[in-house]
Amino acid sequence: MGREELKYRLIEDDFLYEKLGSVKPQCEPLRYVEPDEDMQRRTEQFARDVAPLVKAAYDLDDKRFGFMREFDKVKKSKKRADSQSQHEGFELRMIFPYFADYGDPLLDEELKSYPEELFRRLSEAGVNGVWLHSVLRMMVLPEGGFPGDEKALDRIEGLKRLVARAEKYGVKIFLYLNEPRALHKDYFDGNAAREALAGPEFQGLRSFCTSKPEVLSWISNSMENLFSEVEGLGGVFTITASENYTSCASRPYAHSHCPLCKDRPYADIIVDVNTAIEQGVHRGNPDAKVIVWDWGWPDDKCEEIISRLPKSCWFMAVSEWGKPIERGGVKSHIGEYSLSAVGPGPRALRNWEFARKAGLKTLAKVQVNATWEMAAVPSVPVLDLVAQHAENLSGQDVNGVMLSWSLGGYPSENLKLFQSFRRGDTADDAVVRLAHSEYGDKAAAIGYCCKYVTKQQAK
C-alpha cells in the first residue's frame, strides 16, 4: 500500500484514523530485558493456558476466510416467490453485506465482495436494501475548485453492475453519504478557486464551507448526475455531524471559527446540507429514498432540525440510544450496538415523535446479528432478545429498519426472525414460527415445550 492510499484509507474508511488511536502519545522506547524466574514461570503458564485455543484456531478443516466460499455458487430458492411479500411490518429493511470491501469495491469488475448468492440469501431472509460506503469526490470528475477522481466513471459503471445484480433479488442499493468531505489543507493552499470554497482548518484538514452557495450547488448537482446516470439506485442515508470532518457544523471548533458560519444557527447548516442532498437525489430520481440520520446531533437541536427537513425525507435514529442499564451495580446508558439492552430508548422515541409530527417516515437503526463487543462471529444466538426488539419496534410504528453498521450482515436465523415479525405478533409467536420453519414441526414442538417446562420447574 502506497503512502497516498494509506492516507486515503486512514481518513475515509469508516473513521479508521480515530479507531486506530488518532495522533499517538509520545512513548518511551521499548527495550528488551532478560526474563527472571518469575517472568519465565508466568510465561510458561500462559503458554499452557492458551495452547487449547491456539490448537482450535489453527486446526481447522477450512482455510482462513473459507466462509466466503459458501457464497461462490448461486443456489435455487424455493422461498423466493414470497420472501419479500411476507414482511408487511417494515417497508425498508436495509443491511451492510456480510464481507463487502469497505474501501473501493466498485473498481472490481467482478464485484467479488458482493456475490450474487449473498443477495439471494439476504433477500430470502427479508432484506430489500443493501448499503455501501461512498465518497462523493471519488464518484465525480474535477470541476472548478471542487475535487474529483479520474476513475469516477469506472466506479459509476461498477455501481450500475451492482444495482443490476441486486435487483435480480428485489434488493435496492443505497449509498452512505458523509459530505462534503474535508481535504488536506495542501489541496487549498495557493489555489484561489479552492481557497474561495474553504472553511476552517481542523487537524490538518480544511472543510468546504456550506454557507457558500456554490458548495451546496456542487453537492446537489453531483447527486442529481449520479442518480440520473445510475438508474434504479435505491437512495442514500446521511450522517452530517460525526465520523468525518465535513461542514463547519460537523465540528464545534470549525463552527465557531468560520467567518460565515459562526453567527448562523447550528440547525441551519445541518438542514442546508441535507436539503441539498435531497434536492439533487430527487431531481435525478424522484422515487429514490433520502434517509437523514441524527447521529451526532446535540439533543437540544434535534427537534428544530427534524421539523425543517424536506417532507420527502425519511428520518433515522439508533433504537437503543440512551436506554438506562445497570451492570455489576454500575448504572450507565447505552450508546448503540447493543443486543443485551433491547430498544427503543428515550432519544429514539422522542425524535421519532418529532419526525412523525413533521410528516416524515421513520427508521430504526439496530444491530440484529452482532455488535462490536463480539464482531468476529456471524451472529450472537440471542433469539429471544432479537424478537423482543422487533416486537417493541412494531409497537412504535416505524416504517423501516437499518439492520447493521459495517458488521453483522450475515443472513442468519437472527435476521430471519427479526424480518419475519408481523404486526400483532408477540416475541414468542415469532420465535415459534421460526422454529417450525427451520427445524420442522416435531423439533419445534420439543424446543417450545422445553422452554416453558423449564420455567415452570424453576418456579
pLDDT tens sequence across 104-125: 899 999 999 999 999 999 999 9
Confidence of residue 451 (pLDDT cuts 50, 70, 90): low
Does the pLDDT of residue 152 top 50, yes or no? yes
Query: Strand pairing partners for 315?
Result: 292, 362
Tell me how far the alpha carbon of residue 313 is from its chain's centroid. Answer: 18
SS (H, E, C) 98-112: CCCCCCCHHHCCCCC
**Predicted pLDDT at 10:** 82
Name residues whose C-beta falls within 8 Å of residue 285's C-beta, 6 or more positions apart in sequence: 227, 228, 231, 233
Average pLDDT over residues 366-383: 89
Distance CA 272, CA 267 (A): 8
The helix/strand count (H/E) of the chain reads as 16, 13
> Does 419 score more than 50 pLDDT?
yes
Q: Is the pTM for the entire model greater than 0.85?
A: yes
Give the pLDDT band (50/70/90) at residue 159: very high
Mean pLDDT of the chain: 89
Residue 457 has pLDDT above 60, yes or no: no
Q: What percent of the chain has pLDDT over 90?
A: 66
Size of the chain, expressed as the number of residues it contains: 459
The C-alpha atoms of residue 407 and residue 425 are separated, in whole angstroms, by 28
- Binning pLDDT at 50, 70 and 90, where does residue 449 land? low
Residue 448's pLDDT band (cuts 50, 70, 90)? low
201: β partners: 206
Residue 51 has pLDDT above 70, yes or no: yes
Lowest mean pLDDT: which of 18-27, 177-186, 234-243, 437-446?
18-27
Single out the residue of 271, 291, 323, 30 nearest to residue 172, CA to CA: 291
Closest CA to 305 of 267, 275, 341, 272: 267
pLDDT of 84 over the 70 cut: no
pLDDT digits (tens, 9 = 90+) for 216-229: 999 999 999 999 99
pLDDT value at position 148?
96
pLDDT of 56 strictly over 90: no
- pLDDT at residue 81, as a whole number: 39
